[in-house]
Structure 1
Amino acid sequence: MTANAVGLALLILGLALLIGKIIRVKVGIVQSLFLPSSIVAGALLLLLGPEVLGRFAGPWGENGLFTEPMVEVWSSLPGLLISVIFATMFLGHKLPTAKRAVKLVGPQLSLGVSLASGQYVVGLLLAALILVPTLAVAPMTGALIEIGFEGGHGTAAGMRPVFDELGFGEGADLAVGLATVGIVGGIIVGIGLINWAVRTGRTELVTGSAKMSIEEQKGLFREDEYYSAGKMTSRPSSVEPLSLHIAIVTVAILVGLVILEGLRWIEQATYASVMLDDNTPLEIFAYVPLFPIALLGGVIVQFVATKAGFAHVIDAQIMLRIQGWALDFLIVAAIATLSLQAIGENIGVFVILAVAGIVFNVAVFLWLAPRIIGRYWFERGIGDFGQSMGVTATGLILMRVVDPQAESPAFEAFGYKQLVFEPFFGGGLVTAMAVPIIFLTGVWPLFFVMLAVFLVAVLSGLFYFRPREMRDRAEWEKEKSEGREPARE
């Protein structure tokens, strides 16, 4: 494969993303569903590629309108870009004060961990009792709900090398398909829940109707709006700020790579020589991908920068722009190379997992959130619901609808929770290690571990955080009933 072929493949991705944005601006149904332009672009390339157009006899050949090198580049791209996304997650962020972070993060973390660990409980139980014995699928299917829903397209596509190495290549296609269902379903179900909450008085900041402006539906800013994309932390005469931040991201990824290779070396030098019953070596880190360790690399780089006194050079907004670019291109490439044949051959498994995941997420949100979060339970909980259905951006969109001016602590609490949550679930260490653990030990060991985590998360919310949160809610409602303006904090 030549450098020109790689460059052309990237150019086509960029063109598709622009066309996807134009469709988002011009087509009403796409706006009402709040579909990201990257999903629209990926669907367009999927239709014009080997999985759809290429299956019809015609002058375009088996790869549709594209060449085989283009498709190969797109297939490899998600596994590379996912490390960029995770490496940037904590770069440029300041740690909150301990007192306020603990107050806000407790119930938020309880809800988030309940949703994430519960997706494993549901998926593994379905795999053990229904999918494996009746549909003869691999036990690793039990991890797909969390990978596709909580992890999203980035994690689903980033796990493809692991699935391929473990002989479950169709698992990556199912996970990417579930991620698409999760994002679309998260927006549709989330907006439906918001309108229900507004009508029944469960929201505190939005009354009447929950709607976004035309500009927001199109995903554009008005001419009179201003949004900072980042600050200049380096003089361009020395190095372009964007180049500097990309260089810092590469250092974080390299730190993660060194850590991962070190863990693999230790594994090979110690317990990897142990053979399981089927003569499979007892290896875990050999199957762990780079991206969750790249997140740890980002934390280390940020910590060193803070201690060394140059943390001000790392701007969180520029890191967010780099992360957003990587995620957009990743989603386009992942959907463009999605195997519809693999989903079609496993359509029963796909439908069961999708329905089970959606029902579980809605049930946990509606039952647990009002019981463990005091003030603004809906505004704060809907973000975790959105994240559990797709990606963090889905949760942020839903929070923006119910708290357009960021008057509640929803965004702050959600951010604090991410600092503890992201290293483990939704693409973190637990997500990365779940599939090889299932491959090595079967369904039940991980099921019981995740069941224990789920119960601890739920019970800690109900019996530890609930009393304090309910006192806050009662005091707040008393202030309102007495005609006083309650504090927003």
Structure 2
Amino acid sequence: MTIWSLTIDFGIASGLILLCKLIRANVTLVQKLFMPVALIAGLLGLALGPQGADILPFSGSFNAYGGMLIAVIFAGVGLSTRFPAPSLLVSRSGQLWAFNQMATASQWLLGLVAGALLFTYFWPDLSPAFGLIMPAGFMGGHGTAVAMGNSFAELGWADATTLALTSATVGVFAAILIGLAIIRYGARKGLISGLTPFEQMEKHHRKGLIEAADRVAIGKETVSASSIDALSLHIALILLITAGAYYLSSYLSGLNDFISVPTFACAFLLGTVSRSLLDRLGLLQHFDVKLFNHVSSTATDYLIVFGIASIKITVLLSYAVPLLVLMIIGLLLCLFMVFYVAPRMLDERWFEKGVFSWGWMTGTVAIAILLLRIADPDRKTSILDDYAIAYVPGAVFDIILISFMPGLILQGFIYETMAALVAYMIVVGVIGRMLKGRALRLKAA
């Protein structure tokens, strides 16, 4: 592989992104599906790439970019992560945090039980970790799918990446299509008072184009361009952390045969440590969190394109039946969380919170925000702010699961992991009940 191979691969991906952005902005049917441009570009890359018609001249290494891109993403996430004060978490977002944790743990537990106990009975050749591709794709999206796939590949299960990426793609479609159906159901049952028809939605939601009067800056110039461009400064720090994460991961993973520490987890750790160090030294003021987020988001778009385009159709077909069953089980669990658990763990506006949660439980936070805008057009709720507060401690739990679950399951610690997840769910359930009771008492007072 040469530097021009890398350039051509990213050039092809860029061309697909631009073409699909043009399609997204002009084709009404695509707009009504609310498909992200990167997802459309990835599907087109799959159809025209080596796994499809083999028209696009991708290099032989284009399916290996995911590991690097996911490390870049988590480095940016770590640099932009600010842990909320415990008092703020409890007072503002306690119930939503408890529900989010219950949703996360239940997906991983169901996937583990289904894959390790149920599926291996009907399909003995399946890996006991097969069920984990459902939460990897649903909860984490394409980024986590690549991260988990890389971890499994290093542990000897090469097919996991294709399966997890497929799970993530199914999740995005389900998040949008079933999410819209949930909203329509809520409107008919009187669970929500407002509903935004497609024709009345803002242009940037329908076409993805923002009018000049509504545009906002993607970041601030925190340094003088005469010394260094602000974007160069932010990219330099992210890439330095990404390189450091690679070496840290290699070192930690080489300590013994059992430990396999993913690069993305090290990137998140180094990112959060770097942010804390910059803050203590008074240097954080020269960086803009929005620019870190945009670098991560850019890496995410390319990761989705490369990830979906590299899905191996032959592998997918060989797992078709158990994969279909797993996807159905996962979607039923998410519906159960929205319609049964949400009204019992959350107080007022539980339906809007459930709709938002459906979006990120199956797809992405961006889709969750879109669904919330449709269900709550007047923006009467503070769900986004509450979720932002609850996200950080929840993300730590996610990273722990993504980092250690592959190794634990393939090393045979299946029942121990199940027991730990059940215990965690019990603790979260008790905390959630206490927080809801506290909120009801304060409301009554």
TM bucket normalised to smaller: over 0.9
Q: Gaps (5+ residues) in structure 2? A: none
Partner of 2:305: 332
Letter of the 1:468 partner, please give it: R
Structure 1 CA distance for aligned equivalents of residues 134 and 39 of structure 2: 19
Correspondent of 1:443 among 408, 414, 428: 414
Flag as ranges the 4+ runs of structure 1 deviating above 6 A.
Answer: none
- What SS class does the counterpart of residue 91 from structure 1 fall into? helix
Alignment-derived partner of residue 154 in structure 1: 143
Q: Is the 8 A contact 1:108 1:381 kept in 2?
A: no
Q: Amino acid of the residue matched to residue 107 of structure 1?
A: Q
Checking the alignment, whether the CA contact within 8 Å between 2:142 and 2:169 is kept in structure 1 is: yes
Q: CA deviation at 1:403?
A: 3.8
8 Å Cα contact 1:42/1:333 also seen in 2: yes
> Structure 1 370/145 Cα, relative in aligned 2: closer, same or farther at 3 Å?
same
Q: How many angstroms does 1:227 deviate by?
A: 2.0
The offset of 1:439, in angstroms, is 0.4
- In the alignment, which residue of structure 1 is the partner of 2:97? 109
TM superposition shift of 1:407? 4.3
Write out per-residue CA displacement over residues 356-412 of structure 1, whole angstroms, 9 at most, x where no aligned residue.
Answer: 111101111222222222233233333332111122222222233334565422111
**For 2:272 and 2:354, how far apart are their aligned partners in 1?**
26
The aligned counterpart of 1:181 is 170
Q: Residue 71 of structure 1 contacts residue 337 of structure 1 at CA under 8 Å; is this kept in 2?
A: no
1:380–1:414: 8 Å Cα contact kept in structure 2? Answer: no
In structure 1, the partner of 2:37 is 37
Match of residue 431, structure 1, among 402, 407, 418? 402
Given the superposition, is the C-alpha separation of residues 258 and 194 from structure 1 closer, same or farther in structure 2, using an over 3 Å criterion? Answer: same
State the match for 2:16 in structure 1.
16
Deviation of 1:173 after TM superposition, in Å, equals 0.8
8 Å CA contact retained: 2:80, 2:293? no
Segment drifting more, 8-17 vs 296-305: 296-305
Counterparts of 1:142 and 1:368, CA distance in 2: 22
Distance 1:153 1:467 in 2: 37
Instruction: Provide the C-alpha distance between the structure 2 equivalents of 1:423 and 1:174, rounded to a whole number of angstroms.
Output: 24
- RMSD between superposed Cα atoms in Å: 2.1
Deviation of 1:468 after TM superposition, in Å, equals: 2.1
* Cα distance between partner residues in 2 of 1:200 and 1:105: 27
332-341 or 151-160, which moves further after superposition?
A: 151-160
User: TM-score, normalised to structure 1's length?
Assistant: 0.85
Percent identity over the alignment is 27
2:99 maps to 1:129: no
2:344 paired residue number: 371
**Residue 284 (structure 1) aligns with:** 259
- The aligned counterpart of 1:141 is 130
2:391 to 418, 424, 430: 418
The residue type paired with residue 330 of structure 1 is L
Distance 2:247 2:2 in 1: 29
1:350 shift after superposition: 0.9
TM-fit CA distance, 1:333: 0.3
- The change in CA–CA distance for 1:217 and 1:250 in structure 2 (over 3 A counts) is same
- How many residues get paired? 442
Counterparts of 1:28-67 in structure 2 under 5 Å? 28-53=28-53, 64-67=54-57
**Cα distance in 1 for residues equivalent to 2:173 and 2:159:** 21
Deviation of the 1:133 alpha carbon: 1.8
Listed as ranges, the matches of 1:84-483 within 5 Å are 84-92=72-80, 94-136=82-124, 137-203=126-192, 207-209=194-196, 211=198, 212-257=201-246, 259-264=248-253, 267-268=255-256, 272=257, 283-285=258-260, 288-404=261-377, 406-425=379-398, 428-461=399-432, 463-471=433-441
Q: 1:289 to 1:340 in 2, by over 3 A?
A: same
Partners of 1:158 and 1:431 lie apart in 2 by 8
**Which sections of structure 1, spanning at least 5 residues, go unmatched?**
54-63, 273-282, 476-489
Q: Which is higher, the Rg of structure 1 or of structure 2?
A: 1
Classify 1:420/1:97 alpha carbon distance in 2 versus 1 (closer, same or farther; 3 Å): closer
Counterpart CA distance in 1 for 2:176 and 2:64 is 28
